[in-house]
Amino acid sequence: MRIFDPHIHMTSRTTDDYEAMYAAGVRALVEPSFWLGQPRTSPASFYDYFDALLGWEPFRAAQHGIAHHCTLALNPKEANDPRCLPVLDELPRYLVKDGVVAVGEIGYDAMTPAEDTALAAQLQLAADHGLPALVHTPHRDKAAGLARTLDVVHESALPTDRVLLDHLNETTVRAATDSGCWLGFSIYPDTKMDPDRMVRVLREYATEKHRILVNSAADWGRSDPLKTRHVGEAMLAAGFTDDDVDQVLWRNPAAFYGLSGRLDLDVEDTTPGATHKGNSILRGAPVTTATTEGR
């Protein structure tokens, strides 16, 4: 079972998690930018974080055989702090980077006017940079939050088939499906969705299975980076085929983030010296052995 976790905050996870994820079949992931567990107080704190999502964290993931990409944005929660708003002006220089495959997570937290502005501005940034958008739906007042989210999406320059609505559940899946957006579900030990409920949604919405994504959304809270695998197992136990599992856990996230034109699922060899030894182009060695020499 090959797994692509389309939403996981690896910066808050350990190397043990990376090992366990690889063993469970995870070969690719996308790490959306979010808060730090407590509020930031300055834009510079975002920039160091974005740099880590484009530098250290992909290196860490590659050491464990996992391809790492990210989505960048000013998150909804911190869009409410005027001290953090200058991030919106710096985002364009980040959104051109190779490792960035969407704008996100954007959306609503407490549904404030400041969040309206940040969401609209960042949907426009996604359209300007040829990127899709990962849109978080609020945990509190979710159904109303989804309706307000869809209003802003419809007013934006971004077509709904380039928008992934995340953290959906039984109460929001119908409206989300009707919107034409991609459908994301986060599987948690206690809150959000669980594997068996996910399987019921997949059954009920079988005709939409080409645009359903499942993620662990694992972070510092009580969460589990192997929840994607658990969904795959629950699907097989419920009679879904290997191909169904592959579609939901691999091909759909690859298709959605592939809309960026920047997804590269080959994992760079990070064994110290591998790049150096394999650097036939930079060293002027014969080109035919370049990819295998250092591996």
Distance CA 5, CA 131 (A): 19
Minimum CB separation of residue 260 from another protein in Å reads: 9
Smaller CB separation from another protein, 180 or 258: 258
| Distance of closest approach, residue 285 Cβ to another protein, in angstroms | 9
Is the preceding omega at residue 78 within 30 degrees of 0, hence cis? no
The sign one gets for the Cα dihedral 185, 23, 69, 130 is negative
| Residue owning tokens 């200058």 | 86
For another protein, give the closer residue by CB, 213 or 263. 263
CA distance 273 to 150: 49
Q: Quick one: 52 or 236, whose CB is closer to another protein?
A: 52
Are 107 and 74 in contact by the 8 Å Cβ rule? The answer is: no
- Least distance (Å) from another protein to the CB of residue 84? 19
Which lies closer to another protein via its Cβ, residue 55 or residue 159? 55
- We find the least distance from the C-beta atom of residue 77 to another protein, in angstroms, to be 26
Q: How far apart are CA 167 and CA 82, in angstroms?
A: 26
Cα–Cα distances (Å) from 171 to 193, 200, 262, 281, in that order, read 11, 13, 33, 55
Cβ closer to another protein: 177 or 270? 270
Are 228 and 5 in contact, with CB atoms under 8 Å apart? yes
Taking the C-alpha atoms of residue 138 and residue 13, their distance in angstroms, rounded to an integer, is: 23
Taking the complex as a whole, the smallest distance from the CB of residue 278 to another protein amounts, in Å, to 7
Q: Which is nearer to another protein, 208 or 269 (CB)?
A: 269
Site of interaction with another protein (CB under 8 A):
51, 54-56, 58-59, 93, 96-99, 261-262, 264-273, 275-284, 287, 290-291
**Nearest distance from C-beta of residue 187 to another protein, angstroms:** 29
Task: Name the one residue in this structure whose structure tokens are 């409206």.
Answer: 175
Tell me the chain's radius of gyration from C-alpha atoms: 19
**CB of 91 vs another protein, minimal distance in Å:** 12
Instruction: Output the smallest distance, CB 49 to another protein, in A.
Output: 14
Which of 58, 145 has the CB closer to another protein? 58
Helix axes 56-63, 43-53, angle to 10 degrees: 30
Where do runs of H (alpha helix) occur along the chain? 15-24, 43-53, 56-63, 87-95, 113-128, 142-155, 173-179, 195-204, 227-237, 242-246, 252-258, 274-277, 280-283, 290-293
Nearer to another protein, 97 or 209 (CB): 97
